[in-house]
Amino acid sequence: MIKIKKNKKPWPTRDAMQQVYELNLWGENGGEFYSGEGSHNPYIIAPYIKCVSQFLNSFEEPISICDLGCGDFNIGKEFVDLCKSYTAVDIVPELISRNKKYFKEANLSFQCIDIAKDQLPKADCVIIRQVLQHLSNNEIKQIVNKLPTYRYIILTEHLPEGAFVPNLDIISGQGIRIKKKSGVDLLAEPFNLKVKKSSILEQTQLKNHKGIISTALYEMF
């Protein structure tokens, strides 16, 4: 059974994410922390792991990675051997403690921080996989302001099929903008992230018209 230590003071985003794991809102894994089908379904994660691995292997010298919102680390563990260093971050303290117990590599470290409020770890490349979709526009703005310090951004979001109105606001929590037929686009209003170059690494069409999982690569100035 997952044991969550209650916060003495209200911390809305952390409280929401702790509740997700405590109540198994993204599914169950025998009483363990479970980051949902999007982090475990082979149909979704296999093409993602393949394209990110190809990107990391394209460098003559391994680069450093910062994973913002590492979850249960079922995906991140696949990239540790492909980079110089891997810093995995999440907002839930108990989840980070669990990850430290199960995943141990010389070039791997875990940190418990609020990526909207706290200073982000330094790295060549930042990975943000299906994290921003759960956050309010205000929190996303705070994160976007810190992203230009990285050389590369690998961003994955759950988006509607076809044309959609980007960045409709939500309250931070387990839900995402797909219910509003919207999705996160960092290049659009109100975020307007400035990038040197952008490309789509991979897109996976979900079944029953439930949208697409889209992974973009941004090269920064």
Rounded to whole angstroms, the Cα distance separating 178 from 168 reads: 10
Q: Which domains does the chain have, with CATH numbers?
A: 12-219 (3.40.50.150)
Taking CA atoms, 94 is separated from 2, 18, 19, 22, 34, in Å, by 9, 8, 12, 10, 12
pLDDT tens, position by position, 49-99: 999 999 999 999 999 999 999 999 999 999 999 999 999 999 999 999 999
Q: In this predicted structure, what is the pLDDT of residue 8?
A: 67
Q: Answer whether residue 1 shows pLDDT above 70.
A: no
Beta strands 212-219 and 152-159, pairing class: antiparallel
